[in-house]
């Protein structure tokens, strides 16, 4: 191929290092179950979130990510459940995870709770090499289109109160290695351990206006550390507006001789908004602006959330955790 892929990594989304890496979403603070199974049941009502991310408008084959999750508590107060699907497409590669989630709640005090969560499911990956652009007719690469299906287990912890949260998770306790020649000759790609850390708090006591600083840190083997720092403002308990700065991730190119060279950093500025349309329905949008001249367009992320609290009246002005994270 003349260029297999101009950009193999930016912002910690996908990383050169021969590894399939988990996508990092810009609206992580509204979709924590995507990263941490211990988040299940923390809203104390049925909650569902869907996110679609369209990465880098002007680059063919750039990542497209879908995240779907639903969670709630069981009738017994200490037990919580969840379901999560993550799908990611990058160039010729499609990958995903389908998981069931269980979390146990420990009441530390009247206001502070600790969740310990575990996820179990299957991870899959496919490479559609028949669609590759090759330098000569009959390249054996085009006839090699394998699938990979493997079990997956993850673990997380989540400590929270009405106005703060902190958590950490390892979503891949079972390492998946793709043997040489199973996909492409010389490719030893696989699914490796990730470590996610999240934290945030609410500042301010008025119903009209509050601040929420938060952060997301991601570490993966053979990948640069990625750090998101966000500051958001909440107006009248219904409208969020915020900005993030993302550190980490590098941009690489591959020349005709398959030599890899770093051509820039993957830092970016992110703007986010979220609006509670009704007591149950919320929508959100984020735009990433890359700080590198070779990427002329940014990334779009859209979120739709639904919260159904049976037997409860959830007013927007009530200072509940469900409104904040």
Phi, psi (degrees; rounded to nearest 5) at 308: -120, 110
255: CB partners within 8 A, 6+ apart: 3, 261
Phi, psi (degrees; rounded to nearest 5) at 226: -115, 130
Burial class (CB in 10 A: 0-12, 13-18, 19+), 136: exposed
At 250-271, the pLDDT tens digits run: 555 555 555 455 545 568 899 9
Choose among 317, 316, 232, 305: nearest CA to 30: 305
Confidence (pLDDT) at 321:
39
At 25-41, the pLDDT tens digits run: 889 888 899 999 999 99
- The angle at the Cα of 62, spanning 294 to 297, to the nearest 5 degrees, equals 40
3-state secondary structure of 141: helix
Confidence (pLDDT) at 236:
87
- The number of angstroms, rounded, from the C-alpha of 229 to the middle of its chain's C-alpha atoms is 15
Confidence (pLDDT) at 244:
95
Confidence (pLDDT) at 15:
36
**CA dihedral sign of residues 107, 108, 109, 110:** negative
Neighbouring C-alpha atoms within 13 Å toward the C-beta of 102: 5
Confidence (pLDDT) at 316:
42
Residue 138 CB: number of other CB atoms within 10 A?
A: 8
Confidence (pLDDT) at 64:
85
Q: Which domains does the chain have, with CATH numbers?
A: 28-323 (2.40.160.40)
- The number of angstroms, rounded, from the C-alpha of 301 to the middle of its chain's C-alpha atoms is 11
Confidence (pLDDT) at 128:
64
Element (H, E) at 212: strand 209-220
With a cut of 70, list the residues of the chain below it in pLDDT: 1-21, 57-61, 91, 128-146, 175-192, 222, 249-266, 292-297, 310-323
């Amino acid at each position: 191929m003349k260029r297999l892929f101009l950009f193999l990594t930016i912002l910690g989304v996908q990383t050169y290092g021969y590894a399939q890496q988990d996508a990092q979403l810009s609206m992580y603070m509204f979709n924590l179950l995507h990263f941490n199974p211990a988040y299940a049941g923390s809203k104390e009502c049925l909650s569902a979130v869907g996110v679609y991310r369209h990465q880098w408008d002007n680059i063919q084959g750039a990542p497209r990510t879908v995240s779907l999750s639903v969670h709630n508590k069981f009738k017994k107060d200490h037990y919580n459940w969840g379901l999560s699907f993550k799908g990611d497409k990058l160039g010729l590669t499609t990958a995903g995870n389908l998981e069931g989630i269980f979390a146990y709640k420990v009441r530390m005090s009247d206001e502070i709770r600790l969740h310990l969560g575990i996820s179990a499911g299957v991870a899959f990956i496919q490479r559609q090499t028949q669609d590759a652009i090759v330098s000569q007719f009959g390249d054996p690469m085009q006839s090699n289109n394998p699938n990979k299906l493997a079990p997956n287990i993850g673990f997380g912890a989540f400590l929270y109160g009405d106005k703060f949260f902190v958590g950490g998770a390892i979503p891949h306790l079972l390492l998946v290695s793709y043997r040489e020649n199973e996909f492409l000759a010389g490719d030893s790609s696989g699914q490796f351990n990730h470590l996610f850390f999240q934290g945030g708090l609410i500042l301010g006591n008025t119903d009209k206006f509050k601040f929420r600083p938060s952060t997301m840190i991601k570490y993966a083997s053979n990948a640069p550390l990625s750090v998101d720092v966000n500051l958001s403002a909440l107006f009248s308990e219904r409208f969020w507006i915020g900005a993030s700065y993302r550190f980490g991730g590098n941009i690489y190119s591959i020349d005709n001789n398959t030599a890899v060279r770093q051509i820039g950093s993957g830092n970016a500025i992110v703007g986010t908004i979220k609006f509670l349309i009704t007591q149950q329905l919320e929508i959100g949008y984020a735009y990433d602006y890359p700080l590198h001249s070779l990427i002329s367009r940014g990334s779009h992320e859209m979120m739709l959330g639904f919260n159904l609290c049976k037997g409860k009246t959830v007013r927007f002005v009530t200072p509940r955790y469900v409104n904040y994270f």
